[in-house]
């Protein structure tokens, strides 16, 4: 109050000086408010840039870790995959699946091999004939993806690509090169949906957009497109006129790509309150000046109150939507700010929960080795269990009968929030533990307390209480008991295998079953490989009766046994499918392979395998040459004579040309001709080399002409097949001519 009395005294003594200073303060206040608005939007742009760049950085680090696997380098050097390679590639499918679980369900990690044309993602392997299936799954044109793979020349980088609907994606790629860096062997990548990432920042009066470093438009509304064409100098902030309306823009460059993030805001929406406030204050000052000392006491109170509120509130924080034109509107603005503060606190709480779920999820999936996140909730060395609670067909329940499709995900989130609260209250009331949301499930890590072991009956009671409250069926997968934090990823992997296995085998839990207790299982591929080799031999020799018996044995003992892990069956199915597809004509092969790859259950897979075998059996034998061996030998010898000067010519290249398995080609050719495909390449080259040596060409020039990279390679071949060196052969031929 002393300060107020001083102001009152100054009004009484010198009226004009305070009025003049107040006019100056109003002008300064307007500038401060405008500056606060600019800083607020600059902060929004920086937050967008940090969020998107952080995700790109996380994805780049993940891809770099995956690229260090020796399996990627090994498979990248191969132009075709053998059965053993396909089995090894299954490990890469598992690795990509692990890291893909950390991202949203729309995107996926993948690895593309340039030499073989194969693409591996988190759930299967695509051959080059069916790459369009992967592109279709991601809603991209295949040409767009292949161009992106080819255009990426550096080891790592980010490209902007558009799907069929025109939605932009940031494609993060990491290239693997050969030892001499003259060709790309493979690339590992991930798609980031820029539209969904930026839409959350759009408001009623502002919108986010993307540009490239040259000012080219990438994503945003029509106003954003016009703004990108109008902005000639890429300043961090400024104003543009669009369709007669002034807009504020703010842009910030990305640190990991050529993108620039921006926010576009209508200028009048935010400055209208400032203009109204200025007009009101000027009118009040004119009234103060005219009335003067007579009303100094009354007007000093009215002058002091808005100044204090405006300076303390507007100068420090600013407002977004409120139009401040009176003392009442100023009070409402403060109330709105209080509500915004509460909303901000809730959002920060959700972000902390999401980060906690992300850290725990990364550790459970084995991507992170830091167990400190779990040590905050459970004690290492004491028994604990991992539980996964999931809803059983929620869309079929009465709860979802009147829920519109666009509200489905929001309703699911609300249900899982309610389920988590009930389960925590029951299971974590007296025990150490933590619960997190991962995908469409709730994961709880619960520790035994004071020797009281967690019982399935206790879990049953918690589920019954939740089901009764929400009228939904809930199923729980329960891991074995562990006492070390390092075993948590092992338990989570067991739960995931069981959950996806139930979907694959179409096993519906019993109506009374609420808890599925799990135990580790191990499977070997030894017997399957023996059966597969037998089946391949019968197909090659056209012994279809025995091949049919072998296929039946594989289906019954190696595929349709429901105790097998579903991912192992998937891998075996892919191997068997590719082996059988080779026997089909090329015009039918792609159709059959695409149809078979679409199947997701074992029943449909086994039916397609049988249909494919019947199609092989139905091929008219009279359409084949009488002596298939002679035709094969002729095709090999013709190709060798046409390409013997190519230094890269090898048996694998010939097998790719004939669309045959390398081992099958080598075995069948040797049975017909008496020597191997590699021997044929050397014999053809030496036959032409003899002619060149007799014409007077040097040994080094002859080696280059007939396809040998080094002279000593041709010398070794001469010694092996002719018994003499090229120089001795040349001298011998000269002596014969004389």
pLDDT of 315 strictly over 50: no
Comparison of pLDDT for 223 and 335, the residue scoring more: 223
| Separation of alpha carbons 61 and 360, rounded Å | 18
In Å, how far are 443, 463, 501 from 512, measured between CA atoms?
Answer: 22, 12, 20
pLDDT (mean) for 385-413: 78
What are the backbone angles phi and psi of residue 336, rounded to the nearest 5°?
Answer: -65, -40
Global confidence as pTM? 0.37
Comparison of pLDDT for 10 and 172, the residue scoring more: 172
pLDDT of 3 strictly over 50: no
pLDDT of 118 strictly over 50: yes
Comparison of pLDDT for 619 and 226, the residue scoring more: 226
Comparison of pLDDT for 309 and 22, the residue scoring more: 22
pLDDT in tens, 53-88: 888 888 888 888 888 888 888 888 888 888 888 888
Helices (H), ranges, 80-202: 83-100, 131-137, 142-151, 194-199
Q: Which pLDDT score, from 0 to 100, does residue 353 have?
A: 67
pLDDT in tens, 186-196: 999 988 888 88
Q: Which pLDDT score, from 0 to 100, does residue 113 have?
A: 92
Question: Half-sphere exposure of residue 222, counting CA atoms within 13 Å on the CB side?
Answer: 2
Q: Which pLDDT score, from 0 to 100, does residue 520 have?
A: 63
Question: For the chain, what are the domain ranges?
Answer: 53-196, 351-517, 526-623, 628-737
CATH 3.40.50.2300 assigned to domain 351-517? The reply is no
Residue 449 DSSP symbol: B
| Separation of alpha carbons 171 and 165, rounded Å | 16
Confidence class for position 399, pLDDT limits 50, 70, 90: low
pLDDT of 634 strictly over 70: yes
From the candidate CATH numbers 1.10.10, 3.30.450, 1.10.287, 3.30.700, the one assigned to the domain spanning 53-196: 3.30.450
Q: Which pLDDT score, from 0 to 100, does residue 417 have?
A: 84
Q: Which pLDDT score, from 0 to 100, does residue 13 have?
A: 64
| Separation of alpha carbons 46 and 250, rounded Å | 9
pLDDT of 324 strictly over 50: no
CA neighbor of 444 nearest in space, from 396, 492, 381, 408: 492
CATH class of 628-737: mainly alpha
Confidence class for position 503, pLDDT limits 50, 70, 90: low
pLDDT in tens, 570-582: 777 777 777 777 7
pLDDT of 608 strictly over 60: yes
- Bridge-based pairing of strands 474-478 and 237-242 is unpaired
Comparison of pLDDT for 573 and 336, the residue scoring more: 573
pLDDT in tens, 673-718: 888 899 999 999 998 999 899 888 999 999 999 999 889 889 989 9
Contact 76, 564 (CB under 8 A): no
Q: Which pLDDT score, from 0 to 100, does residue 618 have?
A: 73
Q: Which of 129-143, 230-244, 448-462, 678-692 has the lowest mean pLDDT?
A: 230-244
């Amino acid at each position: 109050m002393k300060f107020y009395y001083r102001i009152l005294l100054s009004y009484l003594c010198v009226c004009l000086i305070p009025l003049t200073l107040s006019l100056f303060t109003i002008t300064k206040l307007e500038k401060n408010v405008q500056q606060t608005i600019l800083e607020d939007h600059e902060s929004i742009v920086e937050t967008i840039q940090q969020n998107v760049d952080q995700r790109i950085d996380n994805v780049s680090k993940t891809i770099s870790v995956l690229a260090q696997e020796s399996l990627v380098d090994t498979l990248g050097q191969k132009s075709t995959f053998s059965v053993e390679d396909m089995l090894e590639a299954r490990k890469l499918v598992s690795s990509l699946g692990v890291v893909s679980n950390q991202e949203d369900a729309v995107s996926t990690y993948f690895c593309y091999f340039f030499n073989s044309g194969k693409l591996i993602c988190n759930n299967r392997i695509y051959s080059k004939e069916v790459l369009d299936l992967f592109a279709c799954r991601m809603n991209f044109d295949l040409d767009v993806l292949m161009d992106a793979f080819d255009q990426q020349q550096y080891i790592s980088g980010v490209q902007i690509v558009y799907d069929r609907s025109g939605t932009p994606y940031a494609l993060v790629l990491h290239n693997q090169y050969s030892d001499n860096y003259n060709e790309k062997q493979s690339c590992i990548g991930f798609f980031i949906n820029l539209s969904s990432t930026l839409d959350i920042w759009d408001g009623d009066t502002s919108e986010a957009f993307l540009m490239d470093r040259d000012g080219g438009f990438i994503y945003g509304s029509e106003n954003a497109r016009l703004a990108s064409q109008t902005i000639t100098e890429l300043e961090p902030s400024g104003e543009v006129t669009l369709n007669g309306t002034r807009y504020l823009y703010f842009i910030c460059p990305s640190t990991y790509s050529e993108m620039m993030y921006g926010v576009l805001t209508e200028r009048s929406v935010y400055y209208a309150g400032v203009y109204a406030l200025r007009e009101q204050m000027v009118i009040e000052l004119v009234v103060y000046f005219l009335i003067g000392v007579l009303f100094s006491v009354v007007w000093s109170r009215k002058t002091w109150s808005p100044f204090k509120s405006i300076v303390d509130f507007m100068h420090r924080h600013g407002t977004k939507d409120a139009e401040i034109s009176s003392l009442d509107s100023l009070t409402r603005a403060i109330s709105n700010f209080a509500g915004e503060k509460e909303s901000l606190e809730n959002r920060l709480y959700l972000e902390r929960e999401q980060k906690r779920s992300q850290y725990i999820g990364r550790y459970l999936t084995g991507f992170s080795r830091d167990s400190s996140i779990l040590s905050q909730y459970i004690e290492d060395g004491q028994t604990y269990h991992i539980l996964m609670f999931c809803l059983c067909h929620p869309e079929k329940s009465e709860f979802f009968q009147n829920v519109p499709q666009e509200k489905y995900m929001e309703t699911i989130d609300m249900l899982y929030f309610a389920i988590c609260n009930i389960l925590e209250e029951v299971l974590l009331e007296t025990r150490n533990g933590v619960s997190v949301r991962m995908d469409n499930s709730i994961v709880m890590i619960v520790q035994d307390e004071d020797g009281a072991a967690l019982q399935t009956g206790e879990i049953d009671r918690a589920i019954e209480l939740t089901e009764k409250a929400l009228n939904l069926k809930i199923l729980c997968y329960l891991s074995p008991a562990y006492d070390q934090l390092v075993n948590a990823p092992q338990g989570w992997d067991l739960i995931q295998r069981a959950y996806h296995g139930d979907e694959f085998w179409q096993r519906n839990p019993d109506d009374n079953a609420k808890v599925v207790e799990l135990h580790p299982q191990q499977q070997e591929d030894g017997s399957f490989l023996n059966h597969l080799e037998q089946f391949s031999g019968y197909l090659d020799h056209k012994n279809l009766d025995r091949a049919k018996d072998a296929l039946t044995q594989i289906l019954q003992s190696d595929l349709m046994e429901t105790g097998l892990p579903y991912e192992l069956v998937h891998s075996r199915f892919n191997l068997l499918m590719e082996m059988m597809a080779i026997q089909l004509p090329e015009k039918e092969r792609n159709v059959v392979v695409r149809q078979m790859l679409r199947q997701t259950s074992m029943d449909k897979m086994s039916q397609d395998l049988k249909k494919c075998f019947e199609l092989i059996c139905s091929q008219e034998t009279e359409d084949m040459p009488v002596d298939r061996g002679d035709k094969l030998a002729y095709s090999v010898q013709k190709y060798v004579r046409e390409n013997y000067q190519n230094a890269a010519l090898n048996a694998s290249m010939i097998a790719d040309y004939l669309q045959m398995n390398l081992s099958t080609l080598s075995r069948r050719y040797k049975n017909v001709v008496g020597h191997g495909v590699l021997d044929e390449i050397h014999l053809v080259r030496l036959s032409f080399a003899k002619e060149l040596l007799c014409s007077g060409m040097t040994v080094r020039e002859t080696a280059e002409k007939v396809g040998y990279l080094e002279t000593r390679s041709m010398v070794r071949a001469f010694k092996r097949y002719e018994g003499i060196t090229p120089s001795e052969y040349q001298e011998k031929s000269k002596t014969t001519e004389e």
